């Protein structure tokens, strides 16, 4: 088969615009239909981006010219919708999380293998220039042998600005499940699979108050830990310390550092695609200038992983943002939560191969198929 890969999108919410901004301009994919429970919303989004088709999920899945479905539904629907896509013979790109728990995710991945189809997963930020330039620097020995890592995401909580933040404090939410995929996927991309976690969690308040929008002043319950500190061990023996918090008035976001035998490599925010990488050497003073490395790689944001998936399918090679990787990150997050609740270390059930690095000159926009 040659020519662009046909794309269908299920879910016409706000996040769909971020994908459509890029995928409607990429040469190797063609968005052919948008489906939503609200058909009028699907048609409006299709008209906005000059997509020819709009309608129901069943109509989308019945189309033979759609090879990959973007699953942009709510988290609770991710696995059921992805399963329906696989049953219809479609490959799937799903938004995070891969599933609600490792058992559901394991069934989804096994079903994809059984059907000889792909089910890849966000975040694709790790395929962007920032993380991938850091990956190349590590493989070039820029900081010697990696021995440890630090990640940190600390804010006071999204209820101050989010008009409906309740879901971020319900089961399956919290700073761990909301932001963890970006930081933990970056760690696995850089250092390989995580094998063990020992974590602790706290919940400073049992209620929070919505601070903006039509529900301002409304109280809602906090069901999950809002501060999680974790110690991860990788298959290669490195140790990573991670903090995920909705309790810190002093914000510290985007912290990802890898320390090796010859220096410390500092990445840009893993919740973004681009940014500068710096390297600090032993003996440097706080006011010394570090080595600076400009990020180099594909100049596309959300949707980059979809183009990479399309090319991988046509080439018959593994995709980099794979379901295997997403399931492993989900296992790490669930194990972190369970360790924080029990106070005991937990060994991962899953593993994942470290994806191949993205070539620095990889062009997501051109027509290659």
Report the CATH number that the domain containing residue 59 is assigned in CATH. Answer: 3.40.50.720
Whether the pTM exceeds 0.75: the reply is yes
- Rounded Cα distance between 220 and 231, Å, is 30
Q: How far apart are CA 205 and CA 50, in angstroms?
A: 47
- Mean pLDDT lowest among 117-121, 171-175, 190-194, 312-316: 171-175
Do 143 and 251 fall into the same domain? Answer: yes
pLDDT surpasses 80 at 1: no
- Are both 101 and 165 inside the same structural domain? no
**279: exposed, middle or buried (Cβ count in 10 Å: 0-12, 13-18, 19+):** buried
Residue 226 near residue 337 (C-beta atoms within 8 A): no
User: How confident is the model over 313-338, as pLDDT tens digits?
Assistant: 999 999 999 999 999 999 999 999 99
The H or E element containing residue 94 is strand 91-94
- Whether residues 29 and 159 share a domain: the answer is no
pLDDT band at 263 (very low <50, low <70, confident <90, very high): very high
Average pLDDT value for residue range 250-254: 96
- On whether residue 368 sits in a domain, the answer given is no
Specify whether 264 is located in the same domain as 181. Answer: yes
Q: Take residue 166 and report the two structure tokens written for it.
A: 């309740």
The 10s digit of each residue's pLDDT in 78-128 is 999 999 999 999 999 999 999 989 999 999 999 999 999 999 999 999 999
User: What's the CA gap between 56 and 97, in Å, rounded?
Assistant: 23
DSSP string, 231-264: EEEETTS-EEEEEEES--SS-EEEEEEEEETTEE
End position of a domain, from candidates 70, 101, 121 = 121
Helix (H, G, I), strand (E, B) or coil at 87: helix
List all residues 6 or more positions away from 78 whose beta carbon is below 8 Å from its beta carbon: 71, 94, 95, 97, 98, 99, 100
Q: Are residues 222 and 255 in the same domain?
A: yes
My answer on whether 19 and 42 are in the same domain is yes
| Structural domain of 69 | 5-121
pLDDT at 74: 86
DSSP string, 315-326: HTS--SS-HHHH
Q: What is the mean pLDDT of the chain?
A: 96
| 196 or 2: which leads in pLDDT | 196
283 backbone φψ class: left, alpha, beta (φ>0; ψ -120 to 50): left
Helix, strand, or coil (residue 199): strand
Same domain for 146 and 113 = no
Kindly state the tokens that stand for 53.
């088709």
Task: Average the pLDDT over each of 10-19, 165-174, 355-364 and give the range with the smallest value.
Answer: 165-174
pLDDT at 22: 98
Does residue 349 form part of some domain? no
Q: What is the mean pLDDT of residues 201-221?
A: 94
Confidence grade of residue 267 (pLDDT, cut at 50, 70, 90): very high
Residues 6+ away with beta carbon under 8 Å from 266: 256, 257, 277, 278, 279, 280, 290
Q: Which residues contact 103 (CB under 8 A, 6 or more apart)?
A: none
Structure tokens that stand for 194 in this block: 């995580």
Residue 330 in domain: no
Residue at 328 is within a domain: no
Mean pLDDT, rounded, for 254-258: 97
Q: Do 26 and 96 reside in the same domain of the chain?
A: yes
pLDDT tier, 14 (very low <50, low <70, confident <90, very high otherwise): confident
Task: Please state, as a whole number, how many other Cβ atoms lie within 10 Å of the Cβ of residue 220.
Answer: 18
Residues 159 and 189 in one domain: yes
In this structure, the answer to whether residues 49 and 136 fall within a common structural domain is no
Rounded to whole angstroms, the Cα distance separating 70 from 315 reads 20
Whether residue 362 is contained in a domain is answered as no
Please report, for the domain that includes residue 203, its CATH number: 3.30.360.10
CB 148 within 8 A of CB 351: no
Task: Indicate whether 11 belongs to any domain.
Answer: yes
Residue 98: inside a domain: yes
> Does 99 reside within a domain?
yes
Query: Which of these three, 293, 327, 360, is where a domain ends?
Result: 293
Residue 354 has pLDDT above 80, yes or no: yes
Q: How many CA atoms, within 13 angstroms, populate the side-chain half-sphere of residue 158?
A: 16
Task: Out of 73, 103, 121, pick the residue that ends a domain.
Answer: 121
Tokens representing residue 289 in the block: 């200038």
Q: How many domains does the chain have?
A: 2
Same domain, 20 and 143: no
Query: Residues 184, 276: one domain?
Result: yes
């Amino acid at each position: 088969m040659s020519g662009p890969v046909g794309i269908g999108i299920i879910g016409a919410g706000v996040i769909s615009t971020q994908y459509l901004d890029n995928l409607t301009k990429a040469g190797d994919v063609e968005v052919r239909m948008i489906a939503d429970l609200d058909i009028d919303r699907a048609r409006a989004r299709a008209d906005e981006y000059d997509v020819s088709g709009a309608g129901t999920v069943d109509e989308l899945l019945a189309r033979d010219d759609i090879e990959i479905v973007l699953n942009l539904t709510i988290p609770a629907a991710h696995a059921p919708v992805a399963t329906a896509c696989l049953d219809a013979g479609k490959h799937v790109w799903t938004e995070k999380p891969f599933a609600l728990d490792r058992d559901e995710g394991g069934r989804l991945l096994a079903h994809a293998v059984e059907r000889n189809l792909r089910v890849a997963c966000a975040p694709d930020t790790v395929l962007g220039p920032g993380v991938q330039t850091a990956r190349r620097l590590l493989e070039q020995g820029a900081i010697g042998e990696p021995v440890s890592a630090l990640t940190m995401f600390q804010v006071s909580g999204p209820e101050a600005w989010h008009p409906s933040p309740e879901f971020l404090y319900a089961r399956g939410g919290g700073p761990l499940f909301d932001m963890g995929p970006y930081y933990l996927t970056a760690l696995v991309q850089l250092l390989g699979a995580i094998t063990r976690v020992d974590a602790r969690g706290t919940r400073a308040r049992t209620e929070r108050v919505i601070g903006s929008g039509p529900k301002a002043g409304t109280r809602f319950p906090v069901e999950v830990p809002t501060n999680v500190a974790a110690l991860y061990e990788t298959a290669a023996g490195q140790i990573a310390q991670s903090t995920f918090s909705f309790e810190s008035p002093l914000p510290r976001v985007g912290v990802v550092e890898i320390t090796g035998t010859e220096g410390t490599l500092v990445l840009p925010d893993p919740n973004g695609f681009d940014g500068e990488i710096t390297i600090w050497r032993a003996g440097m003073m706080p006011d010394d200038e570090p080595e600076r490395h400009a990020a180099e790689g594909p100049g596309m944001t959300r949707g980059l992983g979809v183009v990479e998936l399309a090319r991988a399918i046509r080439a018959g090679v593994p995709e980099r943002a794979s379901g295997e990787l997403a399931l492993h990150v989900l296992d790490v997050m669930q194990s972190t939560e369970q360790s924080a609740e029990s106070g005991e270390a937990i060994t991962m059930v899953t593993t994942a191969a470290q994806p191949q690095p993205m070539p620095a000159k990889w062009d997501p926009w051109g027509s290659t198929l």
